[in-house]
A and B are shown apart, each in its own frame.
Chain A
Amino acid sequence: MIKVENLDITFGGGAQRVHAVRDVSFTVASGESFGLVGESGSGKSTVLRAIAGLTPGWRGTMTVAGQTLSQRRDRAFHKQLQMVFQDPYGSLHPRHTVNDILKEPLVIHRMDDDERRILRALDEVGLGPAYRFRYPHQLSGGQRQRIAIARALILDPKIVLLDEPTSALDVSVQAEILNLLSRLAREHDLTYIMVSHDLAIVAHLCSRIAVMNRGAFIEKMSDEQLRTGTPEHGYTRQLLVASKGYDRAAIDQFVEFD
């Protein structure tokens, strides 16, 4: 479904040059959930945004549903691929009601039948029509993220990119959103690429995982391999140890990976 080869992205110039993504290659099959894990600055979000068409100036080859991508994306592309962002408040326009937000993609793609589609989208994410005319500040974090997911799904895309969709949410809400994402993937046969810094979340939702550090892939593995604690690279092992909680002795062993 998605094929990325030798993706390379550099920001800025001169002294401010940042080599954000270094020669990254991977494939994602249709209906699969692929996870990108890394700490901040690892380039994981940049990879996602490049696929979505938000970072011009990328180098390499990207193919989505058989079509090779150019620097600009056309409308048909956007109908197939949507994205859910990290900050549930930031990703909804503060002056638009839920109705405006869900209607926007329909208007852009000139689809009719707004009423039915909006109500169905709200229903699918577990929110009733009562929420339709609220403003984002009248919704809780979890509700906002549900709206963001509804917005991503309203065009019936085949691929959804998830950029840390639960990082800004409370733990109890996170579980609900993760369950929702799993269910929607099953019901609509969606392909996910999910970015997160949390190994447990990625292992839960994704079947194949890539670990990134400083713009490059460190290793790729399946969720089983991660779970049974047999990653090959020291960086991944260190991340695993760190995710288990505070262990004074283990912390003294931490090293910097470049």
Chain B
Amino acid sequence: MDKPLLNVENLSVSFDTPKGVVEAVRGISFQVGQERLGIVGESGSGKSQTGRAILGLTLGRVEADRIEFDGINLHKAPARTIRAIRGRRISMIMQDPRYSLNPVMTVGWQIAEAYRVHTNATKREAKQHTLDMLATVRIREPEKVYGLYPHQVSGGMGQRIMIAMMLIPGPDLIIADEPTSALDVTVQLQVLAILDDMVRDRGMGLIFISHDLHLVSSFCDRILVMYGGQIMEVLEAGALDQAEHPYTKGLLNCLPDIDRQQGTLPVLRRDDAWMNRKGGAGGDVP
């Protein structure tokens, strides 16, 4: 298998609070290739902080041995290098397009700007590329949507616009932080289908961060299960029933299953011993 796109070694993120230091991520390591990697965890597991730390977008203190992307150690690189990579080669899609799109600019303008910033294209070229991109994310009437403002578009369309904006510079790796959690379930799947097609067509890597274990396991190739800032287990997609770690198994068990009648749902029992396993490795790219 080819070289991984991203190689993270011993990543830690911590925050200083009046009550002491809070460690959101504790020394995790993993690699991402041209695949769809899912990072699953509940709130407080550190999954979002991991995604943000890769791009240097977190407010916490980041420590790592390496965060290597295409031979560059992002952790030690100068600000100018990181700015060139951010957006252009590694992109990030966030949860709610109502908050991640600029409300005072039209969506078309924002996408075109994203293109121009990274490629020095002219305004006309950028607009044309934008319209093409809107068609690629299956928005009908791209000309009309180009001139709309974020508050005028629905959730699903907003997220497709977000995807268009983040993919237009042609990145190699996308980090998607709960990209569909704010959407209805049918719209969620439609948006994921678009993401799926684009990732496949362009040979990109995708890090998909979510709390929804079932969704991630049906969408991604590999899954990292995080808890308390550490990786508990690495699973191949579709191999959920072979999960070994008690946290993963507990998580799977406590979901209500529509296919059977359950009296009382089994409750996840947290074991402090899980926290003692330092770091946790996410396995190499297969």
Q: Which residues of A contact B (CB under 8 A)?
A: 39-40, 141, 170-176, 178-179, 182, 197, 199-201, 203-204, 223, 226-227, 238-240, 242-248, 251-252, 254
Contacts and interface: CB of A to CB of B under 8 A. Distances in A.
Interface stretch (B48-56, B143-151, B165-173, B187-195): B187-195
Given A246-B218, A251-B190, A176 B258 contact: no
Contact of A246 (B187, B215, B258, B262): B215
B256 A197 contact: no
B42 interface: yes
Contacts of B80: none
Interface centre among B189, B217, B219 (most CB of A within 10 A): B189
Contacts of B262: 204
A246 B186 CA distance: 10
Contacts of B188: 242
Interface of B: 42-43, 155, 184-190, 192-193, 196, 211, 213-215, 217-219, 250-251, 254-268
Main secondary structure of the interface of A (DSSP, over half): helix
Contacts of A199: 258
Given A242-B186, A254-B190, A247 B218 contact: yes
A241 B188 CA distance: 13
A182 B261 CA distance: 13
Contact of A245 (B184, B186, B215, B257): B215
Contacts of A226: 258
Contacts of A40: 155, 184
A140 B255 CA distance: 20
Contact of B256 (A178, A247, A248, A251): A178
A170 B42 contact: yes
Contact of A248 (B193, B214, B261): B193
Contact of B255 (A200, A227, A239): A200
A209 B123 CA distance: 53
Contacts of B250: 172
B251 A179 contact: no
3 residue pairs, one from A and one from B, having the closest CB atoms: A245-B218, A175-B254, A204-B256
Given A176-B267, A254-B190, A243 B217 contact: no
Nearest to B261: A227
Given A227-B260, A242-B189, A246-B192, A171 B184 contact: no
A248 B263 CA distance: 33
B185 A251 contact: no
Nearest to B270: A172
A249 to B, nearest CB: 10
Given A175-B266, A239-B186, A254-B189, A245 B254 contact: no
B180 to A, nearest CB: 10
Contacts of B211: 170-171
A245 B192 CA distance: 11
Nearest to B197: A248
B186 A254 contact: yes
A251 B265 CA distance: 30
A164 to B, nearest CB: 13
Contacts of B219: 245-246
A182 to B, nearest CB: 7
B189 A175 contact: no
Contacts of B193: 248, 251-252
A11 B102 CA distance: 28
A200 B258 contact: yes
Nearest to B213: A171
B256 to A, nearest CB: 4
A257 B259 CA distance: 25
Contacts of A240: 258
A172 B258 contact: no
A225 to B, nearest CB: 12
B265 A204 contact: yes
Given A175-B265, A200-B257, A247-B189, 9 more contacts: A175-B267, A200-B258, A201-B256, A203-B256, A204-B258, A227-B260, A238-B186, A246-B192, A246-B219
